[in-house]
Structure 1
């Protein structure tokens, strides 16, 4: 490559990295932290995450709903998450208009509320908000897509700058030529060797954060987005959740309940099921019920959803590491640490160069 052209590529790479690369590095580090932070959070707060006693006969779903309505009022919306391990508590995502937003933790044996934590409380929640929305809510999600484009640009320009004249020295590390040279080798080889794996992690994260991407894929394939059914005005008593649960599971043998969505008023009740062949850890098969009669209104199996939603079934576990189990989670943490290291070494190299020039 001609020196002038190489210098131009280097400037583009350097200033893109210095302007946005450190933000990418922070997002990567929080992603790596979440892999470890969530299990540690569980250990530090057993009063929220560990059931007081393993229940031989768990409380009914109707008892859970009654307990939550008594605690948060009839206008609150709930998303129930049944225990997934024998000693898990029962979780409920709670939204109270102009009130509490967060997680409530219930005793699965008695349906008693054990405690709660707001969406903005705790180090793990703070790390998740930074990682998923830059602490800006929905407004931060398009910025994440822009940061992903920046990373792909950094990856492409980095590969161009690395491309060797002699392949025999392409992956050599020169530890004996001083700190600056060692940092340079760590930066360039880390980006080239692990860069494509990091790109998969960054791209899958953007897919999850920025919902319009799934809609665009659905539109390009000619599919129609799946929409929930509508319910006429309903103000009477609510049907039994336990009866609905049995009906939902009967339609998908071998499935487990991932979430149950409950909203006040004339809104259908949604049971999200994890089918045996569904790669999504929470399941994307939905069975919708009338809140008053308990009648099945609509069934959407995960592999018959629109193209955008079907892709999410694979992209989500790819990003979280659930697709490949503990080894995949560990690899994702490594990718996050590597991306943070690339940002840190790039900034340090620039600073050492500036100091030397002065």
Structure 2
């Protein structure tokens, strides 16, 4: 069966797509693994930005905003105010400092909730995490072009995965032996056996992560009559109105919602303010005119209806399986490096042996 035409085609595709495009997928995998634990890595790299000098029980959203505005020397309202669950972590705010009608220029600010000290600010493009995220999402090519190429990359990686299954499958009569830990008799033979062993055991995980990434990048490919996404319009098209964060905090407190974790989001396009509460809790929309909080749409207060894209996002990021899912997704991002190194080593060694 190894001499059959389908086998030779799949073997050729698996070898050359893997060798030539393998390093490309290694970078995707490493950036994806980083993003699974992005917050943890950021805390390791920039502890001063995240850790407060002491725990702060009181919450003062207006003062966080005023301190951040003073530090940035701007009177614009923040697009987001995030209070983490732990009172010993700093509050973060995001401001868009771009001129009207231009591309976003987002700046993140950190405020110590216990001392209200300005702990620093940086443009998101200067963040290592944002660089990793942008490469992983659209290759620095922009949403339309980048996500199209990400879709093609997902298809190519699916070909590599499924061709590997085809190559392994003809040896079904040796199924029991193939599923056992290999006998690492030599570096060359061990590289082959380990490539097969980890490949077959991680196949379903790799397919799930790859397909979910493909779906997220180009959902229109999976929708009848789907159209490419339109270019994103500028975030700021007119002068932003003043947002009364004191009124927002008062409304939250009156509803018993002024608790950590908490996120206040301001949408500059429709000038709406939403408040996201703790994980799994219903959201609230703040009416800037009446200065009142109203619950989100009724269906959001109960079980959410099934949405394919949200489901694929949870699978891709590991959230669908909880803590175990994060570990599996993190591992799946490192496996392409192992497969590429062992595959290249086997190909190069076999090539040298034939030349002798």
Q: TM-score per shorter chain, which class?
A: 0.7 to 0.9
Q: Deviation of residue 273 (structure 1)?
A: 3.1
Counterpart contact for 2:22–2:336, Cα < 8 Å? no
2:198 aligns to what?
A: 190
2:285 is aligned with 1:288: yes
Q: Deviation of residue 90 (structure 1)?
A: 0.4
1:21 aligns to what?
A: 22
1:67 aligns to what?
A: 67
Counterpart contact for 1:237–1:292, Cα < 8 Å? no
> Which blocks of at least 5 consecutive residues in structure 2 are unaligned?
227-238
Partner SS, residue 349 of structure 2: helix
Counterpart contact for 2:86–2:260, Cα < 8 Å? no
Q: Deviation of residue 192 (structure 1)?
A: 1.2
2:277 is aligned with 1:270: no
1:200 aligns to what?
A: 208
Distance 2:33 2:153 in 1: 17
Within-5 A mapping of 1:27-176: 27-35=28-36, 38-58=39-59, 60-70=60-70, 71=72, 73-75=74-76, 77-98=78-99, 100-138=105-143, 139-163=145-169, 164-166=171-173, 167-172=175-180, 173-176=182-185
Q: Deviation of residue 249 (structure 1)?
A: 6.1
Structure 1 stretch 97-106 or stretch 77-86: which is displaced more? 97-106
> Aligned-residue CA RMSD in angstroms?
3.5
1:10 aligns to what?
A: 11
Within-5 A mapping of 1:252-271: 258-263=262-267, 267-271=271-275
Distance 1:350 1:216 in 2: 36
Partner SS, residue 86 of structure 1: coil
1:243 aligns to what?
A: 250
Aligned to 1:348, which of 334, 345, 349? Answer: 345
Could you list the per-position Cα deviations for residues 259-282 of structure 1 after superposition, in whole angstroms to 9, with x for gaps in the alignment? 21124586011112345xx3xxxx
Partner SS, residue 21 of structure 1: helix
Counterpart contact for 2:134–2:140, Cα < 8 Å? yes
TM-score (norm 2): 0.78
Distance 2:163 2:64 in 1: 55
1:228 aligns to what?
A: none
Could you list the per-position Cα deviations for residues 2-56 of structure 1 after superposition, in whole angstroms to 9, with x for gaps in the alignment? 5132212211222222333321121112223445664243134221000122113
Distance 2:348 2:204 in 1: 27
Could you list the per-position Cα deviations for residues 165-222 of structure 1 after superposition, in whole angstroms to 9, with x for gaps in the alignment? 412432352421x3222211122222211111122223333444x2x528966999xx
Q: Relative to 1, partners in 2 of residues 1:80 and 1:207: Cα closer, same or farther, differing over 3 Å?
A: farther
1:223 aligns to what?
A: none
Counterpart contact for 2:215–2:222, Cα < 8 Å? no
2:214 is aligned with 1:213: no
Partner SS, residue 120 of structure 1: helix
Q: Relative to 1, partners in 2 of residues 1:112 and 1:24: Cα closer, same or farther, differing over 3 Å?
A: same
Partner SS, residue 95 of structure 2: strand
Counterpart contact for 2:82–2:262, Cα < 8 Å? yes
Structure 1 stretch 153-162 or stretch 140-149: which is displaced more? 140-149
Could you list the per-position Cα deviations for residues 69-90 of structure 1 after superposition, in whole angstroms to 9, with x for gaps in the alignment? 3435234652111121121110
Distance 1:216 1:183 in 2: 37
Distance 1:344 1:326 in 2: 28
Q: Relative to 1, partners in 2 of residues 1:297 and 1:103: Cα closer, same or farther, differing over 3 Å?
A: same
Distance 2:118 2:164 in 1: 52
TM-score (norm 1): 0.77
Distance 2:78 2:88 in 1: 26
Q: Deviation of residue 97 (structure 1)?
A: 0.8
